[in-house]
Each structure stands twice: as C-alpha cells, then as structure tokens.
C-alpha cells in the first residue's frame, strides 16, 4: 500500500511540475540571438564565394579564399586545367617580416591591393606596419587638422614568381592612381574635368603638375563651357547630391569628374545635361553632427510633380572643343540611357580607363523612355546629329530595358524585350528589322555574359527554365544567333552566380541554396566542368549550433500562383512547442526579401528567429522582375496593398501545414519598402497581424522619390487639346488607414534620411496620434536610410518589441542589449 501511495505522490508531483512549466511565463532567448551577431559571424563564416581576378583580361586568373585556417591566394590557368598556390605563405611571411620589421605569419597575412605586373611575371602589393612616417604634402593639404602629420607606413613590395623573392619598392616606383577628377581622352594627351559647374581641359604636362600638387598656381586650364550653374552643371547631374548650407565657396571650384562617352577613334565625345534648378528642394537637420545643428539641402523630385526641363544631349568635337546639341526628344520628361561599351582590354590605355560609347566612330546607341515607361525606343544617334529609331517597345504597364549587344560593329544587334510577357533576346539588323527571336518560353533571360562571334554564339544568364527547381535559381546558358542549340552550361538544383572571362571561353560558377554549403567550380563554356575550386568551410558556424533554414512553396491569395519562401527556425527548435510567426518583408517590385543562395542573412533574419519565433520570407505577386511580367507588374496601380493578401495567405498555409506555428501570434517587419508594407499590413489586416516593427518606411508614397513611386505604381499622362502634356499621380497611403490600428506598432526612422525622408514616418505618427492610437516611435539621431552604426541597436529594439508583445516575455528590461554582443577586438 505504501508503494501505491508513493507512486501516486510521484505522479502528482510530475503533473504539478508539468502544469507549472506550461503556465510559466515565456522567455525570449536573447543569449542564442547574441551568438549570431554580425561581429561573431565574422569569426565563423569566412569566404563563401570566389571572385576571379582575370589577369590583364586573359583567361588566367587569381583569387583569394579564407577559411578558419587563414587566407590563401591561388593562380588558375583554365587552358592547362591547373590550379596552384600563388606563393608559399610561410616563406612570404618570413621575407615580409625581414623587410617591414613587424612580425607576420602564414595564417595572418594581410596583403593589400594585390595585382600582377603587365608582364605577368611579378605581383605587387602593400602591407601595413606600425612604423611612423610623415604624411605627404598632398595628404597634409587635405587635412582639416594640419598638425596631424604622422601616419603608419605602408610598405610597397614586389614578389617575383620565378625566384620567389620579395623586394621593397620605393614610393616613386609605385603606380600612381589617376586623380579622381580626371577623365582622359583615348590618346591620354588631354584631361577633361569640371569646375565651377563648367567643363574644362588641360594637357598632359599640366596634369602631371596636378599629380604632384593640385594647387600648383602654374597649372594652365582651358575653359570649354561658360553657362554652367549649380543644378544646371556640366559636371553631371547634382540633382540628388546632399550639400550643407555651410558649404564653402572653395568647394564649388574644386575639380570634379565629368562623365563622357568617347567614340572609338577619340574624335568625339557625348555628354548629357539637365536643368534641375526649378525642382523643389528637401531638407534634413543633423542635430548631432557638429556643435551647432546643421541644415542639409538637396534637390528631390516627388511623384506627379512638374518637371519643366528635359535632359539634353551634346556631342563635342575633340579637336577644337566645339559642341552642338542633338535633338533626341520624343516624350515629355523622358529618360535617356546613354550606354557605354562593355569594359574590355581596349578600355584601358596604360593605367587610364577610357569610357567609350556603345557604337562605332560614326554613331552610338541610346534608349529613351517615356515618363510612364510604357514607351521605350532603341535609338541610333549619328555624329551629324540625325537619329533613327531601331526598335519601339510599347506596353500598357511599365517596362524594363537592358543594353543591347552590338555584333560586327553594329551590323547586327541583340535586343532584350518583355514583349511576350517574359524577358527574351531578339536579333535585329542595323536597320531595326527583326531577324530572329533567340530565346522563347515561360522563363526569364537576365544578362548577356559574353559572345563568340566566330561561332555566332550568345552566352547569358536566365532563371525559371529548369523544371522542378525554384524559378529564381539563376543558370548560365548558350544559344546560337539563329535561335538554335539552347544549352544549359551549369546544371544543378542551385542558384548559380557566374563570372565569365573576356574571351567567353571559361567561367567561374558560385553555387548554393539557402540550405547547402556554397561551392565554386570552374567551367568551360561548352558546359564541361574543369575543376572544383573551393567549398566553403562552415564548421565553426555549425559548431555554434547553426542549422540551415527550410525553403517552402505556397499558393498566393488567388490559389493559383506559386510563391517561394524560406522558413527560419530557432536553433533550439522544439516541435512540441508552438511559436509565433514573423514575416520579414521587402515587397519589391524591384526585388524580394527572399534568399535563394547561402549568405549572411542570419545577422538579421536567422538571428531574429533565435528569440523564439518562426521567421519567414516569401515572395508576393507584384514582386521580383525575374518572374513573368504579369507577376512583376501585378501591383501596378495599387502600390500600397498589392502584396498583403499573399503575405497573409502564406502564413495561414504554413500554420495549416505545421502545428508548431501559432496563427494567432503573427508579426511582420521590414525596412524601407518593407517598413511601409509592414505598417500597411497592420492597417489593412488589423485582426491578423498583431505586431509590426517598421524601419524607414515610405508610408506616403506621394512624397517618396519619383523614380520608384511613378515607375511601379504608375503615373497618368494627360495631353490637352493644345498638345500640352501634364502628369497626374494618385496613390493610397498608410496614413489614410491610421484609424484601423489595433495591434502593437513600432515606427523607426533616421533623422537625416535623404532617401526616404523622415516626413514619411512623422506623418504616419501624426495620423496615428490624431486617430488616438497607441504606438511606439524611435528616432535614430544622425542616421540616414540604413541606420549606420545604430543598426545593431535597432535590431535589439526590434527583438525587444517582438519578445514583449509576440512571445509574451514581460521581463525584457532585465537584458542589457548593448552587452549582448559587445566584444572588444584585440589588435597588435
């Protein structure tokens, strides 16, 4: 009998313990979230991609790759199918130590600005030391505090690949970087620049004087134009440049770079110019930047506003510096795409980069787009000023445009178009006659990566063609100029990012998914894999408890459209528990906040889940342009609500699919467009979304910039009986729905955000106050759109908000957020 009582006692004690545990207040896991802060991730994730440095535009390349064992440098010769270390780290470290007199070792080599010499027999680089040296005269002249004349010496070294010997080079033998304001003629004898809003030139001899001392009073400059003024400058468009009212006059007369496109023979160059004086300014006040708060003024055009001037195009004759305007007008307030030739070995004359126009000596190619982007013309412009429209693109919604590929000096060209609802390539002759559609089908072609004129083959990237794959996964393809023999060059159910050699014979393929370890391979462009270059080492990350997220597919609100997303779980996930769900969003339309490949998103998305929540990212109709034009432009005319139904539908389907998701605790967060849409979600579906954290949101898109808002929402062009053209713009705003707020909302903005002006958040705050709503507002002093050095503080405030109002942890004040990831790095 005593045993029975003992058993019942134990059973009751277990019951009461379980009941007590189930009713104990939930706790947010701050410690787990802190383990994956950006600073700590730097010590667990090293190289995940290879960036090939093609040597002198050849097929050979070098790259560096870092693992927990340190950094190594490699030399690859694709033709020989050979990969080798560029040098022996231990031997190199020993030689550097002897020269610099600071200790170096093989695992901690830090080489700056590594490059090959032109004969490819040696490499040059710099290493930092602790030795004090005096700054140059030019460096001292640029200082605000002229007494700060000491710096740490940077040693300039050269390594001979054959002898494996290192020598120190003098500063005089170091290649001098061109001055930032200098634009060279193709023969490099003349240097062009802008000053006091006008165009100038100097000869090479005077430029060499400027290299030695930019303030040399004997430098001879020649003025070309005389009518330049602020906001109607020959120095390029200063429309969105932020300047302080306390800007000194001497800053206005400093030499500045001017962007010009040259003809291949160097006889002509072309410049565009726009009069922005009539555009209204915006202001922000920096309260913490200096002793006295400072006012910053900048030009900023809002959607629907009058633009009284047009972009002008001028062609200059290099021999006598005369110029004339080219009439390329077709649409009111049109946009001109003044294309440059793709950079290749011919773009450099010695150490100087020459920006050539896309075309021949006699003509160049541009695109002009109507303000509403429903009309786009591909235009050939002759140097005599005459123009010829080669291709017309017309649509009832906005369109995208890409630079064409010229074939045989313009005898033919390949043009990208969405005319059949998908991005595809088309071959034209030089008169604008369509010869052949090169690609077709329900997939999206992206970028031209190269071509082989001998075999008439085009190389390009595309997504959505391979069956049973995430349609966002990018691949590399080839197709003949006759539209035949379309070939996949890098198979594998991954997202592939490629870097192609100038010859188009080889490419480096970086590939992964969000739930795989990144790998990198070298391919021939016939599709043959030559070698595996690297596989990322994530051993330290996994040792810290990291677990891959989970890709998923759901239906959109229409029950038909497939949406693709990623689910991030706490690394201490317990399938017997229920978790709140948070949607991390950026709704597009120019992109979506959904990762396809492994990256460093865990510093925000993965880490947010560690507080004890399920975090998802998912696409929405009206999102990424990599899908069909129908999908991409779904939100046209409804730029406030277009993605919300899909966000709600995705969360509901996942909750039906997984019982560990509590559909009664749904949060949402995002930045910029995601800030605007997370607040909209709280107002359009106030009974579904319970908590939102909205950063830098454009809550009133009628005061956001013209480019994004007009493009994706639409602007109405009106032509009067007299032929005058005006534009009308109307859009629903978050502030219109302030009365609907029921849940918890935190709005944050930087006070000097010159992208999404703080007025967007302040007007939202104003509307909520007038609607007698409770909410929270965070102003980040001295921060622009990205929140800068307060990004980490904002993350922890976001974590606090979800911890308290979604998880239900009422003791967040016991956590010192600034100490959660503070580590003081040690250095020599």
Per-residue pLDDT of 60-89, as tens digits, reads: 999 999 999 999 999 999 999 999 999 999
What is the pLDDT, as a whole number, of residue 351? 85
DSSP string, 74-119: EEEEGGGTEEEESS-HHHHHHHHHHHHSS---GGG---EEEEE-TT
Between 806 and 146, the more confident residue is 806
What is the pLDDT, as a whole number, of residue 676? 96
What is the pLDDT, as a whole number, of residue 241? 52
Contact 748, 762 (CB under 8 A): no
Residue 7: pLDDT over 80? no
Between 816 and 450, the more confident residue is 450
Domain coordinates in residue numbering, the chain: 25-43+541-818, 53-173, 430-531
Global pTM reads 0.92
Locate 516 and state its tokens. 């795989």
What is the pLDDT, as a whole number, of residue 722? 87
Residue 6: pLDDT over 90? no
Instruction: Compute the distance between CA of residue 368 and CA of residue 374 in angstroms, rounded to an integer.
Output: 11
- Name the pLDDT band for 812 (thresholds 50, 70, 90): confident
Q: Which CATH superfamily is domain 25-43+541-818 in?
A: Alpha/Beta hydrolase fold, catalytic domain (3.40.50.1820)
Whether residue 808 has a cis bond before it, omega within 30° of 0: no
As a whole-number percent, the residues of the chain with pLDDT over 90 amount to 84
What one-character DSSP code corresponds to residue 753?
A: -
DSSP string, 384-399: TS-EEEEEEEE-SS--
Contact 806, 799 (CB under 8 A): no
Between 812 and 325, the more confident residue is 325
Task: Report CA-CA distances (Å) from 34 to 115, 220, 546, 610.
Answer: 39, 59, 13, 9
Contact 462, 474 (CB under 8 A): yes
Instruction: Compute the distance between CA of residue 94 and CA of residue 730 in angstroms, rounded to an integer.
Output: 68
pLDDT, one tens digit per residue, over 119-137 is 999 999 999 999 888 776 6
Pairing of β 495-500 and β 506-512 = antiparallel
pLDDT, one tens digit per residue, over 191-240 is 999 999 999 999 999 999 999 899 999 999 999 999 999 899 997 665 44
**Which is it for the CA torsion 302, 303, 309, 314, positive or negative?**
positive
CATH number of 430-531: 2.120.10.30
- Name the pLDDT band for 23 (thresholds 50, 70, 90): low
| Spacing of C-alpha 551 from chain mean position | 23
What is the pLDDT, as a whole number, of residue 122? 96
Instruction: Compute the distance between CA of residue 233 and CA of residue 235 in angstroms, rounded to an integer.
Output: 5
Q: Return phi, psi of residue 671, to 5°.
A: -125, 145
Q: Please give the average per-residue pLDDT across 471-497, as a whole number.
A: 97
Q: Please give the average per-residue pLDDT across 148-174, as a whole number.
A: 90
Q: Please give the average per-residue pLDDT across 805-816, as a whole number.
A: 83
Locate 469 and state its tokens. 């794959």
What is the pLDDT, as a whole number, of residue 246? 47
Contact 206, 180 (CB under 8 A): no
pLDDT, one tens digit per residue, over 602-636 is 668 999 999 999 999 999 999 999 999 999 999 99
What is the pLDDT, as a whole number, of residue 245? 46
Q: Average pLDDT of the chain? A: 92
């Amino acid at each position: 009998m005593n045993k029975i009582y003992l058993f019942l006692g134990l059973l009751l004690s277990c019951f009461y313990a379980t009941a007590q545990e189930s009713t104990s207040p939930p706790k947010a896991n701050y410690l787990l979230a802190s383990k994956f802060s950006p600073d700590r991730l730097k010590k667990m994730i090293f190289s995940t991609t290879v960036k090939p440095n093609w040597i002198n535009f050849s097929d050979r390349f070098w790259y560096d790759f870092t693992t927990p064992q340190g950094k190594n440098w490699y030399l690859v010769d694709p033709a020989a199918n050979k990969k080798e270390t560029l040098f022996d780290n231990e031997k190199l470290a020993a030689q550097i130590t002897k020269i610099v007199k600071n200790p170096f070792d093989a695992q901690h080599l830090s080489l700056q600005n590594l490059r090959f010499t032109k004969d490819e027999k040696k490499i040059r680089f710099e290493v930092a030391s602790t030795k004090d040296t005096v700054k140059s005269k030019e460096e001292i002249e640029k200082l605000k505090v002229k007494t700060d004349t000491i710096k740490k010496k940077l040693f300039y070294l050269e390594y001979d690949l054959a002898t494996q010997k290192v020598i120190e080079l003098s500063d005089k033998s170091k290649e001098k970087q061109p001055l930032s304001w200098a634009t060279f003629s193709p023969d490099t004898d003349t240097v062009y620049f802008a000053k006091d809003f006008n165009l100038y030139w100097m000869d090479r001899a005077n430029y060499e004087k400027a290299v030695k001392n930019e303030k040399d009073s004997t430098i001879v400059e020649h003025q070309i134009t005389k009518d330049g003024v602020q906001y109607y400058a020959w120095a390029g468009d200063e429309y969105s440049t932020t300047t302080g009212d306390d800007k000194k006059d001497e800053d206005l007369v400093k030499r500045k770079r001017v962007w010009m496109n040259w003809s291949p023979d160097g006889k002509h160059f072309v410049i565009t110019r726009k009069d922005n004086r009539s555009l209204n300014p915006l202001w922000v006040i920096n309260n913490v930047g200096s002793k006295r708060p400072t006012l910053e003024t900048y030009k900023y055009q809002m959607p629907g506003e009058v633009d009284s001037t047009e972009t002008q195009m001028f062609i200059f004759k290099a021999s006598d510096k005369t110029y004339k305007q080219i009439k390329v007008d077709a649409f009111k307030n049109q946009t001109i795409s003044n294309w440059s030739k793709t950079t290749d070995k011919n773009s450099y004359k010695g150490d100087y980069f020459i920006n050539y126009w896309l075309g021949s000596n006699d003509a160049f190619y541009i695109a002009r787009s109507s303000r509403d982007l429903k009309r786009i013309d591909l235009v050939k412009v002759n140097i005599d000023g005459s123009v010829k429209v080669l291709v017309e693109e017309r649509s009832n919604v906005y369109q995208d445009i890409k630079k064409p590929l010229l074939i045989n000096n313009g005898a033919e060209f390949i043009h990208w178009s969405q005319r059949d609802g998908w991005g595809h390539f088309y071959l034209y002759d030089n008169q604008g006659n369509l010869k052949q559609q090169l690609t077709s089908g329900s997939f999206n072609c992206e970028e031209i990566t190269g071509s082989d004129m001998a075999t008439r083959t085009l190389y390009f990237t595309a997504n959505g063609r391979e069956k049973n794959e995430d349609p966002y996964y990018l691949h590399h393809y080839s197709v003949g100029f006759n539209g035949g023999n379309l070939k996949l060059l890098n198979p594998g159910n991954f997202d592939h990012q490629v870097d192609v050699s100038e010859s188009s014979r080889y490419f480096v393929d970086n590939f992964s998914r969000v739930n795989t370890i990144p790998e990198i391979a070298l391919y021939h462009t016939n599709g043959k894999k030559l070698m595996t270059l690297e596989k990322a080492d994530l051993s330290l990350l996994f040792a810290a408890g990291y677990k891959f997220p989970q890709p998923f597919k759901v239906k959109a609100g229409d029950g038909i459209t497939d949406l693709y997303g990623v689910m991030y779980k706490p690394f201490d996930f317990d399938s017997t528990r229920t978790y709140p769900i948070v949607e991390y969003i950026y709704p597009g339309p120019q992109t979506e906040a959904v990762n396809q490949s492994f990256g460093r998103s865990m510093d925000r998305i993965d880490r947010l889940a560690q507080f004890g929540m399920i975090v998802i990212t998912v696409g929405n109709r009206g999102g990424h342009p990599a899908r069909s034009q129908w999908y991409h432009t779904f939100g046209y005319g409804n730029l406030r609500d277009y993605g919300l139904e899909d966000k709600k539908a995705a969360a509901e389907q996942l909750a039906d699919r997984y019982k560990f998701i509590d559909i009664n605790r749904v949060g949402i967060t995002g930045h910029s467009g995601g800030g605007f849409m997370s607040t909209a979600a709280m107002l359009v579906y106030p009974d579904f979304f319970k908590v939102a954290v909205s950063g830098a949101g454009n809550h009133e898109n009628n005061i956001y910039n013209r480019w994004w808002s007009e493009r994706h929402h639409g602007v109405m062009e009106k032509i009067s009986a007299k032929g005058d053209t005006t534009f009308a713009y109307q859009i629903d705003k978050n502030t219109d729905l302030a009365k609907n707020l029921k849940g918890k909302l935190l709005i944050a903005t930087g006070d000097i955000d010159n992208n999404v002006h703080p007025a967007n958040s302040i007007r939202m705050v104003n509307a909520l106050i007038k609607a007698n709503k409770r909410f929270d507002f965070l102003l980040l002093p001295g921060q622009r759109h990205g929140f800068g050095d307060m990004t980490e503080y904002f993350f922890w405030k976001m974590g606090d908000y979800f911890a308290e109002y979604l998880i239900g942890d009422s003791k967040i004040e016991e956590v010192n957020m600034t100490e959660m990831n503070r580590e003081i790095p040690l250095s020599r």
